[in-house]
Amino acid sequence: MGSFIDDGLLGDDGTELEGYRLSIDEALNAARKRYKWMPLCAVEEWIILDAIVTDEERAKVTAAGCQPIFLFAHKVVHDEQRRFEPGHWVRSSMGTAFKEGYLFETRNTVYVLLGPGHRKSASIEAIFSLF
């Protein structure tokens, strides 16, 4: 799979990962069993971005209940709250957890990662310059 993020901005593709491989309905049902009340948003063509931060910045982020990780997806497949139109891109707020290889949590949303994606490190500036 080729990179769908600007290679000049973020360099190589990073580590290839595999999100949920079954149908979107099965993915959403599996996520709903784990997250009873959180809104779900299914995405494709995704990348998890590990923000390059100092130890001091990491400590502040962790103290706030987050991790220095973000999600960028080129394609929203389904958003329960209809905040994002199908086919549009999305960049998450800072993540709180990444579980089971396909569930990316923020304080407000659980992103269900479908199909292949990537994970890589990037500067905060590069992350916020995406779209």
Q: Where are the alpha helices (DSSP H) in 1-131?
A: 7-10, 24-34, 55-63, 124-129
Is the pLDDT confidence value at 3 over 80?
Answer: no
> Each residue of 39-76: pLDDT tens digit?
999 999 999 999 999 999 999 999 999 999 999 999 99
* Per-residue model confidence (pLDDT) at position 109: 97
Average pLDDT over residues 31-38: 94
- Tell whether the model's pLDDT for residue 86 goes beyond 80: yes
| Phi, psi angles (nearest 5°) of residue 46 | -110, 160
List the structure tokens of 77.
Answer: 């497949």
Strands annotated E in the chain: 15-18, 40-52, 69-79, 90-91, 95-99, 103-106, 110-113, 116-123
pTM of the model: 0.88
Number of neighbours of residue 12 by Cβ within 10 angstroms: 9
Residues linked to residue 119 through DSSP beta bridges, in sequence order: 15, 48
- pLDDT, tens digit, 9 for 90 and up, residues 14-25: 899 999 998 999
Predicted confidence (pLDDT) at residue 6 exceeds the cutoff of 50 = no
Which of helix, strand or coil describes residue 21? coil
The alpha carbons of the chain give a radius of gyration, in whole angstroms, of 14
Instruction: Name the phi and psi angles at 89, rounded to 5.
Output: -90, 165
